[in-house]
Amino acid sequence: MDDILPPTYTDYSTGEPLVDTKAPGGPVAERWDTRRFEAKLVNPANRRKHTVIVVGTGLAGGAAGATLAEQGYHVVQFCYQDSPRRAHSIAAQGGINAAKNYRNDGDSIHRLFYDTVKGGDFRARESNVHRLAQISVEIIDQCVAQGVPFAREYGGLLDTRSFGGVQVSRTFYARGQTGQQLLLGAYQALSRQIAAGTVEMHPRTEMLDLIVVDGRARGIVARDLISGKVSTYFADAVVLASGGYGNVFYLSTNAKNSNATAVWRAHRRGAHFANPCFTQIHPTCIPRSGDHQSKLTLMSESLRNDGRIWVPKAHGDTRPPAEIPEDERDYYLERIYPSFGNLVPRDIASRAAKNVCDEGRGVGPGGQGVYLDFADAIRRLGRKAVEEKYGNLFEMYERITAEDPYQVPMRIYPAIHYTMGGLWVDYDLQTTVPGLFAIGEANFSDHGANRLGASALMQGLADGYFVLPSTINDYLARNPHQDTVDDSHPAVAEAVAETEDRLRLLLAVDGDRTPDSFHREIGELLWEHCGMARSEVGLRKALDRIPQIREEFWSRIKVPGTGEEFNQSLEKANRIVDYLELAELMCLDALHRAESCGGHFREESQTEGGEAERHDEAFSYAAAWEFTATGTAPVLHKEDLVFEYVHPTQRSYA
Amino acid sequence: MRLTLRVWRQSAADATGAMVTYDIDGISEDMSFLEMLDSLNEQLILEGDDPVAFDHDCREGICGACGVVINGDAHGPERTTTCQLHMRHFSDGDTIDVEPWRAGAFPVVKDLVVDRSAFDRIIGAGGYISAPTGSAPEAHATPVPKADADFAFEHAECIGCGACVAACPNGSAMLFTSAKVNHLNVLPQGAPERETRVLDMVATMDEEGFGGCTLTGECATACPKGIPLPSITAMNKEWLRATRKVAR
């Protein structure tokens, strides 16, 4: 399939290439030490004179807020939830990777680095990924010291398991609630600082704009969700730890209120947005059951350690699973990818599920599902052992579907789960707006075009506990005496006025459609054309349709109530405004990248076996988009990716 | 399914509230309780009415944001969170009462939304292990017996939803507080702050206006995560031990 269409879409211009000026050279294993040594430090006595705003309290934000406060900075932190403990990191189930090699199974920092670069389909930066692998071992030490109750062996040492895309056992876990336990560790560390008065915490407060003064990030505009009051907060640096943008699809495994407003508002103020089309579709989610569905629920990837995925060999076989004999089942992952079997990476497992369903061999209502079967594992290990490992996941499945997975195989189907794209950041995690940093899922940096399982927790905590608290010093040390900013500054007044105008306008339309109806519409459009498979025809259709939906939104949206009260409809509608712009950039990015890589699968670019086909000669770069105006062509800045250690090859898991 | 809902409506913290009746149709048994409320809200918005405010986020039973009293039970008839309660547990024609958590220490914010920030202050009083970033020893330096690790985990499962307080006739936060005390106090890493932790957390709990514990056990029955009632007696033991040790 070499006759791939050249990128013909012209509705963007190409600007100056981006260069990561903070990444040091030299051997990859020494770069992080080099950078930390070269970075300027802030004298401990001077740190309390600096205020840092942190938006979000998930693994990245919670860890960063606590650590910066421990170092002596004055931290002002925000979350839209009623408590910092509820950030969506809490829902991560399976585990966290670390190259501890406690199993003596050949693991090493270099192997974790290699697996992550390869797993990301060679679209991530080597320097960043290596640093992540190095820090992974410190994260486990840190979390154990905080009292995170990881699973342990009878000898009292930590237990591990395997995740997709790797052949070692390096995933540390706390039953199916690893995210919860890690988040509570960070939340407790943060709570200690809040009680000590070093962190000023603003729960139920949502960031609605970034304040940029003289080219530097100096604060945010935020709305108190209880009183509705819009206020300004100022600082010497702003850190966005506001998570990913998967909720643009409406149906995703994200929390209902997870949103893209903080990053999108920052993008509008000058922060480039990188690789927005790199979204992750998780292969093992509970299939949707009807139009009422408000979100999708993930079943942890760890289940693929013991569960076997299959569909009937025959098309349209509607017999109950127990009546389908062994030789009439197709364990398609084990068949196509014998060396990784059920543990292939997520992008590959998702696409394979889509393929068998498209062939008409899917199971359950509408044929949109495949089986994840534990019968063999229960026979081999006994029900008790399976319960011990996955008990809470099995319960959750039964509660939602009213089917007992100990008796009948689970039915699963892929769903949007994570976004690899995000704000472009340099090696210091600083965006293109000086003084604005992005950490965790909010940035684009470490996972390339596909994230490996159990690596999101690793990256969030690496950024929050270790990377940002080191690199932000350099920025603050180089900008020690910034002018005081207050509400009278024209840039501040403008940001506040824009926010208030937008809220007023949303309330004033008084149309005939609810916020959710628009959110569903944009979500379905994206899932169809910018979901598991993308094509030039489909993407162009979506790009034609999105501006129409935007126009309709502003003439038909109905938001009840006022802005001066607790108003959840207003919160929703305000987030949808940003989704309607972000969706367009995602489609444009997907259209311009006329290759397949990782989670981005362009139908025009596949091998004869139907695998993603990259085009390194044309697309070995991160695409960072510069905002111009709503509905106006953005500017593309390319950051070339250089691979000195892991040489790009066709990914093979066969 | 067709239902009659009687929902607590209260426009703001200082406003007077009342139960308001709504009829709703077309409810599928596969809907979660919150999806049923979503569908009521879609109807209310289109009718020009104010939708019912309720807290929710992950809708997977882990963030602890949701929680309403359903027919007098915190989180309703099943032992789970409100978001994981499905309409198949109700029948066509049912009348369902929906109220916020009722407790002195959880003032109503609006409709079904309450202020649970007192929980955050209890954690801030000692629900942590002081381990500043970077100071940690190698993870395997201190093995933890599996039984202790499992005991810690069982208590660490608390999601901070507040059902225990809502279910308690005294509005007590003993189960919430004991879950965190037991999680951290059993671990070797938690030992240095073992006494101050329990004393300070219990003192803050009392200051926040939660009621006293009479071991009624409603809390453990309502807890969606199954934090066991003996958790409270274990904390009482920790508290007594700490009082004596500090007095010495």
Long-range Cβ contacts of A332-340 (<8 Å, 24+ apart): A332/A356, A333/A309, A334/A308, A336/A654, A337/A653, A337/A654, A338/A654, A339/A167, A339/A653, A339/A654, A340/A164, A340/A165, A340/A167, A340/A653, A340/A654
Say which of A141, A258, A469 has its CB closest to residue B137.
A141
**Chain A residue closest in CA terms to B44:** A560
Which A residues in the span 495-524 are in contact with B, Cβ-Cβ below 8 Å?
A: 512, 514, 516-517
By the 8 A CB rule, do A42 and A50 touch? yes
Helices B174-185, B194-207: crossing angle, 10 deg rounding: 170
Say what the pTM is. Answer: 0.97
The CB density around residue B195, as the number of other CB atoms within 10 Å, is 19
Chain A: closest CA distance from residue B215 (Å): 27
Express as a percent the part of chain A with pLDDT over 70.
Answer: 98
User: How many alpha carbons lie under 13 Å from residue A72 in its C-beta half-sphere?
Assistant: 12
Catalytic residue among A111, A265, A346, A534: A346
Please judge whether A514 and B42 are an interchain contact, meaning their C-beta atoms are less than 8 angstroms apart. Answer: yes
In chain B, residues 146-205 whose CB comes closer than 8 Å to chain A:
146, 149, 152-153, 156-157, 159-160, 183-184, 187, 189-190
Taking the Cβ of residue B51 and every Cβ of chain A, the question of whether any pair is shorter than 8 Å is answered with: yes
Partners of A246 on chain B (C-beta within 8 Å) are none
Measured at the alpha carbon of residue A393, what is the angle toward residues A389 and A397, in degrees to the nearest 5? 145
3-state secondary structure of A636: strand
Put simply, whether A355 touches B (Cβ < 8 Å) is no
Q: What percent of chain A has pLDDT over 90?
A: 89
Q: Across the interface, which of A181, A256, A400 has its CB nearest the CB of B57?
A: A256
Whether A545 is catalytic: no
- Taking the C-alpha atoms of residue B68 and residue B54, their distance in angstroms, rounded to an integer, is 8
Kindly report the average pLDDT of chain A as a whole number. Answer: 95
**A85 at B interface, C-beta within 8 A:** yes
pLDDT score for A302:
86
Find the residue in B nearest to A182 (Cα). Answer: B156
Closest CA to B174 of B128, B105, B107, B115: B105
pLDDT at A9: 47
Taking residues A638-651, report their average pLDDT: 94
Euclidean distance between CA atoms A198 and A68, whole angstroms = 9
Q: Which two tokens stand for residue B95?
A: 């009348």
Over the stretch B151-173, which tens digit does the pLDDT of each residue have? 999 999 999 999 999 999 999 99
pLDDT tens sequence across A569-605: 999 999 999 999 999 999 999 999 999 999 999 999 9
Q: Are A247 and A560 in contact (CB under 8 A)?
A: no
In this structure, the strands spanning A436-438 and A237-240 are parallel
Q: How many interchain CB pairs under 8 A, A with B?
A: 214
Bridge partner list, A517: none
Answer yes or no: do B140 and A512 touch at CB < 8 A: no
- The DSSP secondary structure of A382-419, one letter per residue, reads -HHHHHHHHHHHHHHHHHHHS--TTTS-EEEEEEEEEE
pLDDT at residue A609 in the model: 83
Alpha-carbon gap: A65 to the closest alpha carbon of chain B (Å) = 11
Dihedral, A165, A170, A172, A177 alpha carbons, nearest 10: 10
- How would residue A3 be classed by pLDDT, with cut points 50, 70 and 90? very low
Contacts of A156 in chain B (CB under 8 A): 143-146, 149
For the record, the structure tokens of A346 come out as: 């997520």
Kindly state the average pLDDT of the residues A35-41.
96
- Minimal-distance CA residue of chain B relative to A258: B57
Contact at CB, B58 and A226, closer than 8 angstroms: no
Measured between beta carbons, the chain A residues lying within 8 angstroms of B187 are: 147, 149
Angle, CA B141 vertex, CA B135 and CA B144 arms, to 5°:
110
pLDDT score, position A332: 97
Domains, chain A, ordered by start? 282-417 (3.90.700.10), 490-640 (1.20.58.100)
Give the model's pLDDT for residue A5: 46
Q: Domains in chain B, please, with CATH?
A: 3-110 (3.10.20.30), 116-247 (1.10.1060.10)
Query: Rg for chain B (alpha carbons), in Å?
Result: 20
